[in-house]
Structure formats: structure tokens, C-alpha cells
Structure 1
């Protein structure tokens, strides 16, 4: 089925269908003429997405529901999140009413610590701990794994270790020519690009064999470029090597990643899937050359 018929069948706009494809939620077959051909499975998924979006379920939660083998349990987790948001909203309203009546900041601080902070997601806490671009950068890259709450003493310690690590770590000092290249790349790298990259990685992790087959030509071109002398003398290669060295020498894996796996169950599960996906990638594209 082509997109015009899909839109009519699912009662969605063309832009909506294209967006859900960009997010990796559906994967229509691309014909030789470039047209997308949507399967019966794609139609069912789009109808499912439409229902969930109308119920105000986020794209990250929809992705989790679609990939879940126990959808009622996945929905139950969404309901739990909604209940917490309602309770948090009511607590916020009560706090604002008290602040409106007497504007007692010390009393408000105590109320927030006792009655409101328990509802904060890890993502919300990190944005408050690191306001501005730094916090947003973290949440762009890890935000989809930070929607849970700190509900154990072990997670509380892990969160404190992460905040202390991030607060003390010094930025990488690039040589001037690489710094200019890096900054130019950041300026041109939009939020949508990060989201698209994250979506592509999740598609690779959750549908590894299908992803490797559908992107075979792109992957082979990418590997050819990565192994070329042109890439190995490029600013991108030098920056990548400096970042890898920085991560190895500054506790990125031993402190940040280690504690993030404790803090976020979904991130730990993602890394386990990523490890399996990477092994499949290596077997298909690297080991055959050995």
C-alpha cells in the first residue's frame, strides 16, 4: 500500500507517517522507483501509534510498547508514570498556592524536598543540576533512558556519583584547528539530527538482522571510508581518537557508564542488546575479512 492510501486508512497526515518512519517505528519497503510500499504490519503499527499518541504517550514510550513482548505490562508502566505526573502536578499547585500566600522561600524549599522531588525523573534532576547546554546535551544523548525515578538507596548513590563526576570533569582541550572544526560541527548538528541518530541506533539494536540487511550498502560504504587513508588524516578521525583517549583516561566507563547502568534499568538493558547487536555486526562485516 502506498502512502496516500495509508493516510486514508490510518487517518494520519503524510508528514506524520514520514515522521514515524524517521523515528524507526515503521520500515516500509522501498521500491525500485523510490516509492515506499507499506505492508499490512506497517498499517497495524501506524494505527497502534495513532491510538497511543492520542492518549498522550511519548514517542520513547511508544517505542518501548511496540518492542515489548508484554504490552499490557508496558501500558501499566505508562499508567504508573501518568499517576506520578498527576500527583506531582497537584503537589506543585499546592506549593505555588502556599508561595503565593506568604512567599516563604525557606518553607518552600523544605516542601519541595519532602513532597515534590520524589516525583522527579532522572532526566529532570540532571537538567536542574546542570542548567543550560551541558544538561541539554546529556539529555539529548541519554534522555530516552532517564525517564525513571530514583527509588532505591543504590540508585541514589549512583546518581550522586554521576553528578560529582560530571561536575568535576574538565572539557577536552582540542588544538585550535580541531576546536574550530568541532564547534562548526556542533553548530550544524541539530536536535533532530541527534534524535534521528538515536532512533537509528535503537532500530539497529532492536531489529539487528533486518537493519544490517536493509542498510548493507550504506554500511559497506561507511566501513570503506573508515578504513581509508583519507579518513585517517581527517579532523573527524583525530577528534574521535582524542575523545576515545579522554574517555579511557577520565573514568567515563568506570564511573559514568558504570553508575548509569545502576541508575537506569532501561540503559542497562539497552547496553546488553547493543552488545549482542555489535557482535552480529562484527560477524557479518569484520570477521569475514580476517
Structure 2
């Protein structure tokens, strides 16, 4: 299933996308798409519904496809060729940092540059959504805890991240720096998460082309690894790293986002995103 939430801010309604690309309203069945919705039994019950019996609705503003995200965990330098373009060694263990849940926005939300930003960058990534609690799980069991997958654009302010001291988090959690969706696609529909092509364009120019097959640490490894250091709860999101082609690695000189730029990006089976870049304007953040 492809699950989503749409509508005006504060009035989002749950829906699913049918096989013909039409939105089918779930509001009569679900108040919202919450962590409880992501449990295996709840997803199985939804899968048994006659989709054609659900009312068709016109699309509205896309929101994050589920509500109640507790943690937004990220993995850095998880593609060897991206580590190389960053001038950093291939990690021996996953590099873990946090993005703030408050940076999460829908797939077509404006990306608003923070005050003083001169090095804001893009990163297309595979997002992993947890469906059942994971604590000290093995790699063999890890995918059983995954409800589904989504496209994530891990927007990053490189000066804040790398030149201002301390942790990476400062450049990763700014408002609007976590576009997610358009859908949460359930794990059964995705199949093997290590066989997904991915891409990102800026102003129509292809910048990133990659495949999850080239991850250093696969999804099962990441979920198992993280579960040793933190309890992963339903609704938590893990974003798993980016292939090469980020602005910081452009030759002969880096290329960063400016107001007026447009990013389009996508991952096989998971849909596409589009974001326009804007100068700092707090009114755009809360739309």
C-alpha cells in the first residue's frame, strides 16, 4: 500500500493511492495514520479492504505521510563514493546523527534557507519507517520491524554542519530540512530495499544517480545496529545515507542551493518529490 496524509495544515486526512493513481479516503476507517497504524496487524487489516469501495478524493497539500514521529535518525557517509567526494574515509561502523522531527515536512513543501545560510545542500535518501519496537534485534530479524519505506531529502547546511564545531546536527535539523514522502510504501510492496534506484535533479540538471545496492551498511544492518544503542519505536524514521552528487562534492567548485532553485528527486517504487528553495521567510515554514 501507498499511504499518505493530505489537506490543509492541521486538517490533514489519511488516504491511500490506488493502482490507478487515485486517492482513496481512509478517514472513515482511521482518524489519522499514526504509529499504531504501522503495526503489522493494523497494516494487514488495511490490506484486506476493498480499495474500490473507498471514496475517491481530490489531492490536497501533501503532509508527512504519518504522524507521531518520535525520532528522526540519520546515517552518514553510507555510500563509499559519497565518502570519497566528501574527502572522508569509508566508515567502519555506521555514522549516526539526529535530525529534529520538527524539520520534517511534506514532499512538495518549500525548503526555506535558514538565516545566514550560504552552503545549503541536497541529499536523496531511502527512509525506513519503524512499525514495531526494535531493541537489540538481530540482522536476520531486523526487517520484521520495518513498516515501510519513503523518499527523504536530507537537506544539509554544510557550514553549520562542518565548520561551526560540535555535532553535525546543527546543519541537519533546520526547519523544512526533512522533506518526506510523497507516500509511506509498505514493506510488502517494496520487497528488497537494497535494489532501489534513486536520483535527484537541481533545476533540471541531474546531480545524483545511485542505487541502494551500493550502500556500505544495508537496511537490516542499520536497524540492528541502531537497536543496540536506542530503542526504535513505531513511527521512528531512519534515513540511510546518500549516493554521490551532492553540491559540496561538485567539481571544480561546490554548488549550493539558492532562492529560486528547484529540486526534484525520487526512488523506485517510492514516488517523487519536488521542492522550491526560498530565502528565509518564517511564514513559509508553517504552511
- Which structure would you say has the larger Rg? 1
TM-score by length of 1: 0.26
More helix by share: 1
More strand by share: 2
